[in-house]
Amino acid sequence: MMELTRKGEYAIRGIIHLAQLPPGKVALISEIAEATGVPQTFLAKILQNFAKIGIVQSFRGAGGGFMLGRSASKITLREVVEAVEGPIVPNRCLIGSGTCERDSTCGVHPVWRCHW
């Protein structure tokens, strides 16, 4: 199934919710979870990860919460998806040269490479 996982779908929903907030406003995880219909602790994990790579900013303690780490126009859907799902690439053998031992003999490799 070449589909997003739940995690990917949830990540997008969360980011979009944050993007629609007035700039500078922080949102509680409980609020985001409720609005997006995502299990709160699961969404928290996702956003915590995003905080590490700068897509969102998090604030602990009273008055804390989450907001985007930079302006929405500088965050791509692809970036969000790849952050949770890993690189969008049709085949492992394209990730880097040397990762596939069939690289030199397999007739499929050059085709993938050319179309990607």
Residues near a second copy, by CB under 8 A:
1-4, 9, 12-13, 16, 20, 37, 81, 85-93, 102, 106-108
Q: Does 59 bind DNA (CB under 7 A)?
A: yes
In the shown chain, the binding pattern of residues 14 to 53 toward DNA, with x for contact by CB under 7 A and - for none, equals: --------------xxx--------xxxx-xx-xx--xx-
Distance CA 55, CA 79 (A): 9
Q: How many CA atoms lie within 13 A of 5 on its CB side?
A: 11
Q: Does 65 bind DNA (CB under 7 A)?
A: yes
The β-bridge relationship of strands 65-68 and 56-59 is antiparallel
From the number of C-beta atoms within 10 Å of its C-beta (0-12, 13-18, 19+), residue 52 rates as exposed
11 beta partners: none
Work out how close the CB of 105 gets to a second copy at its nearest, in angstroms, rounded to a whole number.
9
Q: Does 78 bind DNA (CB under 7 A)?
A: no
The entry of a second copy, DNA, none near residue 83 (CB within 5 to 8 angstroms by kind) is none
- Answer whether 13's CB lies under 8 Å from 38's CB: yes
What is the contact surface with DNA in residues (CB under 7 A)?
1, 5-7, 10, 28-30, 39-42, 44-45, 47-48, 51-52, 58-66
